[in-house]
Structure 1
Amino acid sequence: MDNGVKEYKSYGEQVDLLSQRGMDVGDRDTALTTLQRVNYYRLSGYWYPFRKKSNRGRDDEFSPGTCLDDVVAFYDFDARLRMATFSALTPIELAIRALLGHELGRVDPCIHLDPSLLGATARIRGDYREWLDKYERELNLSREDFVAHHDEKYGGVLPVWAAVELLDWGQLTRLYGFSPRGVQDTIADVCGLTAPQLTSWLKALNLVRNTCAHHGRLFNRVHTLSPKLPQLGQHPDLDAVATDWSRTFGQLTMIQFLLDRLQVGRPTFLPTVLKTFPSVRAVPITDMGASSDWSVTSPLWNR
């Protein structure tokens, strides 16, 4: 009975369907193993660029020369890129967390619990109450030793330099947004940015981090948030990067910039992975937003 749900297909039938649509699936047993390892619909995001173009967008038929091995090469590359990106973001997150806890602590050890001490945003919008509720839930659920220590010695009230250790990237970004402008400016200056610019970068990179954490496709994604950029001439190494900042290469350039300005992490990590981009004419590296000479145009990438 037709209930509006697509018909179930076995692994063999999935392989046959790809072959019927013009994909060279190679060795059949290997193709079967691939589809057992990677869900058909997850892999479909990687063969999308290989589908024939039409007035409607993309047809079901594949362009001549499409082979499953190339699709799998992009899938494997994307897995490497996600792992490298997540790893590169970690020291940035930790550095921002340390800076924010330290600078807020200068104002008051418990500033995060008193909106009257924070910036105007914390007092005029309802977001702060939502942020505080989530923070308190995390505090109550935490089994960290430092939380138990403060609970025993100080009645559970964490100073802000300890409290930031309970925050994920999103909560950290929101606390930065609630902070007094002087605190924001001090941290942004370390990053070579203004406070509004750093806010936009943190929000954009939070989405990149979430894509990596949830195994989303990264390499040819069009990102919903683009960064506010410094004026030309302030950072020649950033100016030298020609990219669409809503594409993944632009977002990765933000990471390279912050690694450099914060002096953390391994700036060679992402360039090394990008150099393994599959050599397939149908899907050039420019689909990521990178120029063909991306590795030599800027010190941020010329490692």
Structure 2
Amino acid sequence: MNKNSEEKIPYTKKPLSISLQISKLKDRGLIINDEKLVGDYLSNISYYRLRAYTYPFQDNVNQDADHAFTRKDIHFQDIIDLYCFDRRLRSLIFNAIEKIEVAFRTKIVQTYSEVTQNSHWFKEESLFQSKYYWESGEKIFIYDTLLNDIYHEINRSNEDFIKHYKNKYIQPKMPPAWMTLEVISFGTLSRLYELLIKDDNKKAIAKSIGLNKIDILENWMHALSNLRNCCAHHSRIWNRRFIVSILLPNNTDFPFIDRNTIPAIRRNKLFAYLCCIKYILDIISPYNDFHRNLNILIKDGGKLLSLKEMGFPDNWSYLGVWKNTL
């Protein structure tokens, strides 16, 4: 029977005290040497959050096993080590994506502001593709949706320069591009770029990041905006399968991944995303230490860390984008 077609049942599980949480972990085979220390951890990191890190090492198929650990050598501290690795990795990635996002904003604003000589060029409908979607039988113009989202994000902003514009100027209601695009979300920014007409201006932005196809940059920015949100909301990324699969080009301006290796890379796993981050960082921040810091995290990741779960191939450090950059 398909999992989605299984008959639903009422939720009857009761909340567990921390002492009962500890007992459950011990009953399932997790080695706990210091219950007080474990209690302290569970008082600050919820049992349910840690479940994401114990789950891969438990029997989650056989109901009679009651999620017993399939390995007998796992200590609670091993789970904490894996949790801390994931937390530090999120921080490293978040900081890297911040640089990419800022550069991406800057290139869009500068390119289109200069070309159009219009402070509010994002309100020029002619610059955008005529795309529609249907919702509840109604035909919706995607550009109108984008502009509406931009307007709402500006209104939510507490930035002083937005307040200053609203207090001083009557028209237009929205601030100029160099203010507006600073406060919209990365996701909205990636949608704006995707909706722009595919012309030389749009291609120039991709080219400035060493990419020869607009579609690749569209995909990368969409994927990285989703990854950024995972990091911002403290979601697990260690062995996650991401919704957006990364496109891996074989005609980049600088070393990336050779065409023979590309088919073996899992495009919905973290390694593919890290390759894109590293590639862009090397262009916008040539002396970055992303690779070195990533290696430090991996070395301190603990005994449960599996690079394979993140999509790393065995020879990953010898691939073009990673080679000779330590």
TM-score of the two chains, using structure 2 as the length reference: 0.82
SS in structure 2 opposite 1:300? coil
RMSD: 2.8
Match of 2:243 among 197, 200, 224: 224
Q: Which stretch shows the higher mean deviation, 263-272 or 187-196?
A: 263-272
Q: What is the Cα deviation at residue 115 of structure 1?
A: 1.0
* C-alpha distance in structure 2 between counterparts of 1:220 and 1:3, whole Å: 30
Does residue 73 of structure 1 match 2:81?
yes
The one-letter amino acid paired with 1:80 is R
The Cα shift of 1:33 comes to: 1.0
Which residue is equivalent to 1:126?
A: 141
Amino acid aligned to 1:195 = I
Question: Which ranges in structure 2 are unaligned for 5 or more consecutive residues?
Answer: 1-8, 134-138
Q: Distance in 1 between matches of 2:198 and 2:217?
A: 12
Residue 26 of structure 1, CA deviation: 1.8
Query: Residue 192 of structure 1 aligns with which residue?
Result: 210
Q: 2 CA distance for matches of 1:3 and 1:227?
A: 39
Cα deviation for residue 64 of structure 1 reads: 1.5
Partner residue, 2:182: 165
Q: Which amino acid aligns with 2:187?
A: G
Q: Report how many residues are paired.
A: 300
Tell whether the 8 Å contact from 2:146 to 2:188 is kept in structure 1 after alignment.
yes
Equivalent in the alignment of 1:209: 228
Amino acid paired to 2:154: L
2:154 — aligned with what? 139
**Is the CA contact 1:150–1:156 (under 8 Å) kept in the aligned structure 2?**
no
| CA distance in structure 1 between the partners assigned to 2:166 and 2:279 by the alignment | 39
CA contact (8 A) 2:82 2:305 kept: no
Give, in whole Å, the separation in 2 of the partners of 1:279 and 1:148. Answer: 48
**Quick check: 1:83–1:212 contact (8 Å CA) kept in 2?**
yes
User: Which residues of 2 match residues 13-24 of structure 1 at below 5 A?
Assistant: 13-24=20-31
User: Deviations for 1:171-216, whole angstroms, at most 9, x for unmatched residues?
Assistant: 1011101223222211111112211111111111111001000010
Amino acid at match of 2:222: K
> In structure 2, how many angstroms separate the alpha carbons of the residues matched to 1:122 and 1:259?
34
Counterparts of 2:296 and 2:141 in 1: how far apart (Å)? Answer: 42
For 1:236 and 1:126, the matched residues in 2 are separated by 39
Superposed CA offset, 1:2-21 (max 9, x none): 96320221111111111111
Return the alpha-carbon distance in structure 1 between the equivalents of residues 233 and 181 of structure 2: 23
Query: Is the alpha carbon distance of 1:175 and 1:27 closer, same or farther for their aligned partners in structure 2, counting shifts above 3 Å?
Result: same
Q: 1:39 to 1:195 in 2, by over 3 A?
A: same
Distance 2:121 2:321 in 1: 39
Larger deviation, residues 288-297 vs 63-72: 288-297
Q: Determine the structure 2 residue equivalent to 1:262.
A: 284
- 1:59, 1:293 → 2: CA distance? 38
Q: 2: CA distance between counterparts of 1:10 and 1:141?
A: 40
Give the TM-score normalised by the residue count of structure 1: 0.88
Q: 1: distance between equivalents of 2:94 and 2:169?
A: 35
**Deviation at 1:265?**
7.7
State the shift of 1:272 in Å: 4.0
- In 1: Cα distance, 2:123 partner to 2:195 partner: 11
After TM superposition, the structure 1 stretch with the greater mean CA deviation from structure 2, 99-108 or 259-268, is: 259-268
CA shift in 2, pair 1:156/1:78, >3 Å = farther
Aligned counterpart, 1:86: 94
Take 2:77 and 2:43, find their aligned partners in 1: how far apart are those partners?
15
2:38 alignment counterpart: 31
Give the whole-Å Cα distance in 2 for the aligned partners of 1:47 and 1:217: 12
Q: 1:117 aligns with which of 118, 121, 127?
A: 127
Name the SS of the counterpart of 1:130 in structure 2: helix
Other-structure match for 1:276 = 299
When residues 11 and 132 of structure 1 are mapped into structure 2, their CA distance, relative to the original with a 3 A threshold, is: same
Displacement after TM superposition at 1:79 (Å): 0.6
Whole-Å separation in 1 of the counterparts to 2:168 and 2:252: 51
Judge conservation of contact 1:247–1:288 (CA < 8 Å) in 2. Answer: yes
User: Is structure 2 residue 194 aligned with structure 1 residue 177?
Assistant: yes
State whether residues 237 and 298 of structure 1, in contact with CA within 8 Å, keep that contact through their aligned partners in structure 2.
Answer: yes
Residue of structure 1 equivalent to 2:3: none
